[in-house]
Amino acid sequence: MGSSSSSRNKIPNAQELMHQTGFSSAHLLRLHDRFESLDRDNRGYLSPDDFEVLGGLAMNPIGGRIIEAFFSSGQDTVDFSSFVRILAHFRPTDRNRNKEGTQQELPSSRTRKLKFAFQLYDLDRDGKISREELLQVLRAMLGLQVTEEQLQSIAERAIQEADLDKDDAISFDEFKKSLEKMDIDTKMSVSFLK
Amino acid sequence: MEDLWTVAVAVFQLWIFVVVFFITLPAMFGLSLGVTSVYIQILVKLLEWATIRIQRGREEQPSVPAPLPNGIIERAEGSMEEEMEQLRHSRSLEGGEFALSDILYFCKKGLESIVDDQVTQRFSSEELASWNLLTRTNQNFRYISLRLTIFWGIGVFVRYCVLFPLRITLAIIGLSWLVIGTTLVGFLPENSVKYWLSEVVHLTCYRICARALSATIRYHNKENRPQKGGICVANHTTPIDVVILANDGCYAMVGQIHGGLMGVIQRSMVRSCPHVWFERSEMKDRHAVTSRLRAHVAAKTKLPILIFPEGTCINNTSVMMFKKGSFEIGGTIHPVAIKYDPRLGDAFWNSSKYNMVSYLLRTMTSWAIVVNVWYLPPMTIQDGEDAVQFANRVKSAVACRGGLLDLAWDGSLKRGKVKDAYKEEQQKMYSRVIVRQNSISATHTRRDDQS
């Protein structure tokens, strides 16, 4: 009959996390609850199969790649601070952070979001999206709904448009250029409720 | 020493006297002394005061997080087509149907699922809009005001030292009466007297058990109560659902035979009244289960079967997929919607977090259980409808009546993975977006050729 009151004291390095990521203490508490509910065996870290049970991810055509991008730094577990840091990339960019003196974060957070999206395409992490990799992503997103020829022509057109230095692959800068007019900030941020 | 003993015996006798005459006997006859309703009214007023006090306190101390019963993020509600349109709006698409930015839509949806999803949320207790003075739902509220803390302290004392022993006594009396009564009735030959007596025994036991939980039950639309030969389906929140429904009618229960105390109760119950208990091995054979239930329903004189088609306990904010097995048996379906009031006690059984005993202890130390039961008009399968569509129709009716969210997800998702059909659906939708662009650009090129 114990109580289940969550308190900030359960979260390690709470202050540091708040400072670095910009999440408020209320957000941090909620993310901690979420982390604990995903971590079914109470191990203190998450592994890919903890994500695979989420219905929304399992039905997402690129769900597997999103999970892989979460574990990108070569490890196969993610603890709470890494979890929060990765999710912090997707906060709406906070234009009023001058007080903390972290003006430098503003341009890089757009870059961070783009980097995450780039990693969804670039599976072997060589810094370029090859034609093969593009075909694989298209196949994942479209499944069996289009023919092989249609896939090839779609991939061909996409590469022709974006590949500026004609090396038959899309580098990160070319990727950035092709998305430069897009409002990445709203299209790729998750709006946390206060 | 002797005096202490006689005093203890006297107190005990007084205690039993109070319990039997003021609670058990009226309960058996379905009467009420009105104490519980006064208690609930006082509680509701107290909680309303507490809510106002907490809101005031939150304005003064902004570090206390506001509760968010609908999840922690705000999702864009547009369809895939609308959102893709918005993504492409800032680019001029000459020939390419596919844009590199399309992946951002899936990426965002995936991240939103990681942070908050519709299914996992339903398998933990509902988050209240305010604190109901129970330790278990506390989120640092008790440091807001001294008076709040005092009331919380009084609450702890009342619940654990006064109400809890009372409830345990009632539960023991209720369950032993069930076992003894049904065994006695089982000795009678099969005639109408036996059936009537069995109904009386069952009803009185469940009424005592309901008092053991301080349950206040309101039944609506009693004219739609399930009839003999029908099947009663309801949304499932807790094993207590059985007690709630059986307070107002007799049902034939369906389930697995357990060992231990549950097994003893099950075996004695089936002596007086034809419940349908399955051995563990039989449960796996769907065909055997369906044929036994069908035989029960076909004999129109038997009690209505009680089934929970969700297959698992959900937290009473939504209704998940009704499994089609119950709807393939035939017969009339009588849907019932059950809604618990979460302010006075959390009835949801989180089976992955608590086992049965600790769940019952938690329930018996909450304030009370307040529940509304709506009987819906009977439904039968229509021509040209298959079992799945019928199940969904019944589910929508139950969700609508009970004020619950109607979800299409399968409740067993909390244990297993989702089917590939959902992913195919997403892929289909996306290919439609691309192919549509394709046909637009195709007509453009055709027009260029002609001109």
Residue B203 lies in a domain: yes
Per the CB < 8 A criterion, the answer to whether B398 and B327 are in contact is no
Tell me how far the alpha carbon of residue A31 is from its chain's centroid: 16
What does the pLDDT average to over B363-381? 90
**Cβ–Cβ below 8 Å for A54 and B113:** yes
For residue B289, pLDDT beyond 70: yes
* Structure tokens that stand for A159 in this block: 């590469």
Tell me how far the alpha carbon of residue B65 is from its chain's centroid: 27
* Structure tokens that stand for B131 in this block: 């604190």
For residue A150, pLDDT beyond 50: yes
Q: Round to whole Å and give the CA distance between A57 and A41.
A: 20
Per the CB < 8 A criterion, the answer to whether A178 and B93 are in contact is no
Nearest to B81 by CA among B437, B439, B397: B437
Residue B314 lies in a domain: yes
Domain count of the fold of chain B: 1
Check residue B232 and give its pLDDT: 92
Tell me whether the CATH fold assigned to A13-89 matches the one assigned to A106-189: yes
Of residues B416 and B406, more confidently modeled: B406
Q: Which residue, among B82, B113, B163, B436, would best test binding to A if mutated, counting the most A CBs under 10 Å from its CB? A: B113
Check residue B9 and give its pLDDT: 86
What does the pLDDT average to over B13-31? 76
Q: What is the mean pLDDT of chain B?
A: 79
Q: Round to whole Å and give the CA distance between B35 and A124.
A: 70
**Cβ–Cβ below 8 Å for B104 and A187:** yes
Q: How far apart are the first and last CA of chain B?
A: 114
Percent of chain B's residues with pLDDT above 90:
7
Domain definitions of chain A by residue range: 13-89, 106-189
Q: A50-91: per-residue pLDDT in tens?
A: 888 787 788 888 888 888 887 766 778 888 888 888 888 887
Of residues B131 and B366, more confidently modeled: B366
Check residue A97 and give its pLDDT: 47
Of residues B415 and A37, more confidently modeled: A37
H or E element, residue A84 = helix A80-88
Interface subset of B 409-448, CB within 8 angstroms of A? 409, 413, 416-418, 422-428, 430-431, 434-435, 438
For residue B374, pLDDT beyond 90: yes
Q: B242-256: per-residue pLDDT in tens?
A: 889 988 888 888 877
Check residue B411 and give its pLDDT: 66
Helices B420-450, B80-89: axis angle to 10 degrees equals: 50
**Can you identify the CATH homologous superfamily of domain A13-89?**
EF-hand (1.10.238.10)
**Cβ–Cβ below 8 Å for B95 and A31:** no
What does the pLDDT average to over B334-355? 85
Per-residue three-class SS string for chain B: CHHHHHHHHHHHHHHHHHHHHHHHHHHHCCCCCCHHHHHHHHHHHHHHHHHHHHHHHHHHCCCCCCCCCCCCEECCCCCHHHHHHHHHHCCCCCCCCCCCCHHHHHHHHHHHHHHCCCCHHHHCCCCCCCCCCCHHHCCCHHHCCHHHHHHHHHHHHHHHHHHHHHHHHHHHHHHHHHHHHHHHHHCCCCCHHHHHHHHHHHHHHHHHHHHHCCEEEEEECHHHCCCCCCEEEECCCCCHHHHHHHCCCCCEEEEECCCHHHHHHHHHHHHHCCCEEECHHHHHCHHHHHHHHHHHHHCCCCCCEEECCCCCCCCCCEECCCCHHHHHCCCCEEEEEEEECCCCCCCCCCCCCCCHHHHHHHHHCCCCEEEEEEECCCECCCCCCCHHHHHHHHHHHHHHHHCCEECCCCHHHHCCCCCHHHHHHHHHHHHHHHHHHHHHHHHHHHHHHHC
Check residue B418 and give its pLDDT: 62
Confidence band (pLDDT; 50, 70, 90) for A120? Answer: confident
Check residue B373 and give its pLDDT: 94
**Least confident window among A172-176, B51-55, B305-309:** B51-55
Distance from CA of B218 to the nearest CA of A (A): 28
Residue B67 lies in a domain: no
| Cβ-based contacts under 8 A for chains A and B | 191
Q: A106-189: which CATH architecture?
A: Orthogonal Bundle (1.10)
Percent of chain B's residues with pLDDT above 70:
83
For residue B234, pLDDT beyond 90: yes
DSSP three-state, residue A166: coil
**Cβ–Cβ below 8 Å for A181 and B114:** no
Q: B114-143: per-residue pLDDT in tens?
A: 887 777 777 777 766 666 777 666 655 556
Residue B192 lies in a domain: yes
Confidence band (pLDDT; 50, 70, 90) for B395? Answer: very high
Global pTM reads: 0.72
**Residue B256: which domain range?**
144-414
**Least confident window among A101-105, A146-150, B196-200, B319-323:** A101-105
Rounded to two decimals, the ipTM of the complex is 0.84
**Least confident window among A44-48, B68-72, B280-284:** B68-72
Confidence band (pLDDT; 50, 70, 90) for B323? Answer: confident
Of residues A91 and B375, more confidently modeled: B375
Check residue A3 and give its pLDDT: 33
Confidence band (pLDDT; 50, 70, 90) for B339? Answer: very high
H or E element, residue A192 = strand A191-192
For residue B89, pLDDT beyond 70: no
